[in-house]
Amino acid sequence: MKEPQNPAAEEDPEYVANLRRATLASTVGSALEYFDFALYGLASALIFNRLFFSNLDPAMGVVASLATFGVGFVARPLGGLFFGTLGDRIGRKWVLVVTILLMGGSTTLIGALPTYESIGIWAPILLTVLRLAQGFGAGAEQAGATVLMAEYSPIRRRGYLSSLPFIGIQLGTLMASVVYAALSALPDAIFVEWAWRVPFLCSFVLILLALFIRARLKETPTYVELEKNEDVTKQPLRQVLTGGLPGVVAGIGLRMAENGGSYMMQTLALSFATGTAAATVDQSLATWGITLGALIGIAVIPITGRLSDRIGRLPIYRAGSLFLLVFSFPGWWLLQTGSPVAVIATVAIGYGVGVNTMLGPQCAMLPELFGNRHRYLGVAMARELSAVLAGGLAGVVGAWMLAVSDGNWLLPAIYMATLAAITTAATVLTPETRGRDLLRIEDAVRISDDEQGPLPDVSAPSPRGVEPSSGTPADVGRRDRVEHSV
């Protein structure tokens, strides 16, 4: 397969076919992961307190329900560590097959769980175990999809093409919110008795589709290059711990607003608007905010991914974090008004515009932060540690804030603004990665601006067959290999 950074290579039928398969495999996997997680998030915010924690006070039942949602985030770093290490040692493809089975299988089994009324304390215990298994598989699924697409994409369109599978995030969220909006409109007795199980059980269909696509997928060009040169590391964890931690820290900072803001809008905001606010909104109406936000995200993600190819990852990312920072206070004030229109618009704009403006450039940026030998593990650690610190704590801490303050909207607003401020600071401290050669071994964060040299002009087409440089001549000379052929 020809070097994907060469424009002529993009016309190679084999490369085009594999790029198409990679895009489809990543999109379906992302859709399944976020269908599962959005589904669980919605259920934990709207109904799991009645099904699995019916012995508790209603307000504390919501806290306990959202705590099981957060438990999945505890397992995600462990899954990212385990599968990320395998991904750097044996390749991306088969790790992604295993993670989809573990993640999707756990979701299907949740739909078959008995409730607290049937088996007592074992119901929340089994729910927690399956949520841990779901999180363990998901810990490397999104990192793998991110690395897969970045390593397959040609350099000039990496931001745009890498963002396309993340439309799957919106599709999965959209499917979950539409399904739950429809089911929650049913009579309450039917919804509580059996209808809530249907979407969990239906995730089995997505598992089969994802397995079919991924079984036909070939390994990424950059990993093939490592194998060809016998440069595959046996200890990716040691490499990350001894040299890759700056990239992990940068990735965590970049994810605080995106991941934390996403789950605050998808879970905490709904729980607040439908049960805690001074004037509550019907839950079947409130979920339409996520639906509209996902539709907005389908447009925002590829647009911001393409813009990041033209003007850089950091300016686009910073625009999203600043938007969420400014939006936090008026947004949470609108949520407590009890106006269905205000609630739907707030969730849709906060999630659809604020969060997804950051997600578009992130798809290419996180893999660009790390060297080729430990990229999978580095991305997995950055994503999943931030998922614990941001997304996992968002629901629990936010619900606790609302419980102890008798539903004061100002506390979660301050919380979300703080997450946005952390990410804004991270965009100032992180180097620009647009146009970086993914065959390089060293991490981007460890190289000063002087060492990296000027960024290549990846927005303008080069003459047919002319290989673009990924830096200055001195920079090229510092690579571990001067010539690459995949």
Q: Which of 63-67, 122-126, 299-303 has the lowest mean pLDDT?
A: 63-67
Express each pLDDT in 73-92 by its tens digit: 778 889 989 999 999 998 88
pLDDT at 1: 45
Residue 28, pLDDT above cutoff 70? yes
Confidence class for position 406, pLDDT limits 50, 70, 90: confident
pLDDT at 466: 35
Express each pLDDT in 321-364 by its tens digit: 999 999 999 999 998 888 888 889 999 999 999 999 999 999 99
Residue 97, pLDDT above cutoff 80? yes
CA dihedral sign of residues 182, 184, 189, 192: positive
How many other C-beta atoms lie within 10 A of the C-beta of residue 112?
11
DSSP assignment letter at 480: S
From the list 373, 422, 360, the residue with the least C-alpha distance to 146 is 360
Whole-number average pLDDT of the chain: 82
From the list 25, 267, 304, the residue with the least C-alpha distance to 141 is 25
Domain ranges of the chain: 7-218+235-450
pLDDT at 468: 40
What count of Cα atoms within 13 Å lies in the side-chain half-sphere of residue 253?
21
Torsion, Cα of 195, 70, 339, 170 (10° steps): -70
Residue 423, pLDDT above cutoff 90? yes
Higher pLDDT, 199 or 366: 366
Higher pLDDT, 54 or 320: 320
Q: Exposed, middle or buried, 406 (CB in 10 Å: 0-12/13-18/19+)?
A: exposed
Residue 103, pLDDT above cutoff 80? yes
CATH code assigned to 7-218+235-450: 1.20.1250.20
Question: How big is the chain, counted in residues?
Answer: 486
CA dihedral sign of residues 338, 342, 345, 350: negative
Residue 9, pLDDT above cutoff 80? no
Asked if 359 and 258 count as a contact pair (C-beta separation under 8 A), the reply is: yes
CA dihedral sign of residues 252, 256, 260, 262: negative
Distance CA 259, CA 256 (A): 6
pLDDT at 451: 44
Asked if 178 and 292 count as a contact pair (C-beta separation under 8 A), the reply is: no
Amino acid at 482: V
**How much is the pTM?**
0.79
Residue 107 Cα to chain centre, angstroms: 17
pLDDT at 474: 32
Residue 317, pLDDT above cutoff 70? yes
Express each pLDDT in 394-405 by its tens digit: 777 888 888 888
Tokens for 416, please give them: 């979300």
Residue 214, pLDDT above cutoff 70? yes
Distance CA 114, CA 102 (A): 21
